[in-house]
Amino acid sequence: MRISKSKFVAGVQCLKRLYLQVHQPELAAQPDAAAEAIIRQGHEVGMLARTLFPGGIEVDCSGGLGEAIRATRELVANREVPAIFEAVFEHQNVLVKVDILHRRRDGRWRLIEVKSTTEIKDHHLDDVAIQYRVVSRSGIDVASVCLAHVNRGYVFDGQSIDAKRFFKIRNLTRRVVKLQPKLTFQLRSEFIVLGMPKAPDIAPGKRCTSPVTCEFFDRCNSPLPDDHIGYLPRLHASAEEKLEEMGVESIRDIPDDFELSEIQRRAAECVKSGDAWFDCEGLKAEFAKLEYPLFFMDFESVNPCVPSFVGMRPYSQMCFQYSVHSVRQPGVEPEHYEFLASDASDPRREFISSLCAALGKSGSIVVYSSFECQRLSELASWFPEFADRINAIQTRLFDLLPVIREHTYHPAYAGSYSIKSVLPALVPSLTYAGMEVANGQDAGLAWESLVHGGLDCDERDRVRKALLDYCALDTRAMIRLLDTLKLVK
């Protein structure tokens, strides 16, 4: 039985996950488009990291495992090779593939794992520690073990990515060495589990979603009942643990003296009664602040790890689409304005210019969350010539989310105040169900395919329509929510 690096890390998260990966992989959920996008992003970052080591050679793995290990040995022995990419090693049935093995001037080696995160995370240590164990026990003199992660402070100059400033390389050698006794115990446990006739009986818990969501999640986790304590809004993990220790799983069974926030207590009462709650006076006071004409605004964006345009940082949000519905007077049919970037060129200036024209100079602008306000601030920093107009727009914003959070609750919210949860509860006739693009993540992926995917004309038209329909529904949804809440008595 052989354990790869990825399977070892899976076993650290959950031994049952490891067992199923090896013995029953057909039970795993298939990677969705978002997961595939993350993989592509990781590959892009990995290729960028290689540019830090000119002359490095990638191990050819097409000939199989044995050939890759042999090729790695040859490259290690060749002192003219400054770095090896995807070096393959095996020791005592543990197989690892190293992102970068850098030959130092003294002939010793620096092992570097590349991650697309902006910081070191605890589970990264297990990843690099198992690599160090196998490589060092394969006769390689490893001087240091490092992790290269993305520098969130890097600002793209618009020319070419400066890999030396894009990455931060952190030395983890001491921490990795200290982990080796733990790894011995962990490996022993993993090999024992893999030799069992069936998967170990491990109860679901935090490990099911941390550090990643297990691909066998649905096999171990049944859907929660509607009254489960996990559906209380913003319930801290420690509070949930206390309730579980008390044997409380239903909101209906939470003791009256158990400490909950005002919003949580209100949600609990709604679940118990089955009725929605509305603070009519509070809603009336909030809506009195609105000034016509009303504008309902929604943005869609992507946040690439490797920045695309001048001034952007890793994971900066770049808006590529907006929808604005304008209601000039009560009872008047809304007018619709929209923008969708149609190619891979920088859309930011055209986006903000078009938006300023659509919003005019007066009237409240209804949004749902602080997302749009944050994006406007970023646009102002990138395009100072628009800063005054953007600031004027921001002073007109009216955030519907805190209004709904503070003055309403419906059992169907299931603890979430997302518009995707609130809309079907309060306006069941309006739905995202069945839409090709049904959430922000879908929108980002669809837009990437539109501008980078090599689609034919018919496909482009279909994707473009799906994006426009989705964003327009977001702003129509806010109109309907506002109209619905105004009628509450």
Would you give per-residue pLDDT tens digits along the chain (489 residues)?
A: 899 999 999 999 999 999 999 999 999 999 988 899 999 999 999 999 999 999 999 999 999 999 999 999 999 999 999 999 999 999 999 999 999 999 999 999 999 999 999 999 999 999 999 999 999 999 999 999 999 999 999 999 999 999 999 999 999 999 999 999 999 999 999 999 999 999 999 999 889 999 999 999 999 999 999 999 999 999 998 999 999 999 999 999 999 999 999 999 999 999 999 999 999 999 999 999 999 999 999 999 999 999 999 999 999 999 999 999 999 999 899 999 999 999 999 999 999 999 999 999 999 999 999 999 999 999 999 999 999 999 999 999 999 999 999 999 999 999 999 999 999 999 999 999 999 999 999 999 999 999 987 899 999 999 999 999 999 999 999 999 999 999 998
d(CA 72, CA 478): 59
Q: What is the pLDDT of residue 474?
A: 97
Query: In angstroms, rounded to a whole number, what is the distance separating the alpha carbons of residues 415 and 232?
Result: 5
- Give the pLDDT confidence score for residue 50 in this predicted structure: 98
Measured over the CA atoms of residue 244, residue 249, residue 250 and residue 253, the dihedral's sign is: negative
Give the pLDDT score at 97. Answer: 98
What pLDDT shows up at residue 489? Answer: 82
- Domain 3-194 shares a fold with domain 276-489: no
* Structural domain boundaries in the chain: 3-194, 224-275, 276-489
Measure the CA–CA gap between 363 and 356, rounded to whole angstroms. 13
Whole-model pTM: value is: 0.93
What the block records as the tokens of 396 is 């007109």
- Residues 250 and 230: their CA atoms lie apart, in Å, by 9
Structure confidence at residue 122 (pLDDT) = 94
First to last CA, the chain: 67
d(CA 391, CA 394): 5
How far is Cα 154 from Cα 113, in angstroms, rounded to an integer?
A: 20
Residue 1: its pLDDT value, please?
A: 86
| The listed CATH number (3.30.420.10, 3.40.395.10, 3.50.50.60, 3.40.630.30) that belongs to domain 276-489 | 3.30.420.10
Closest to 215 measured CA to CA, from 35, 80, 38, 42: 35
CB 295 within 8 A of CB 325: yes
| Predicted pLDDT of residue 89 | 98
Select from 127, 120, 119 the least CA-distant residue to 13: 127
Class of 3-194 per CATH?
A: alpha beta
Given this model, what pLDDT does residue 453 score?
Answer: 77
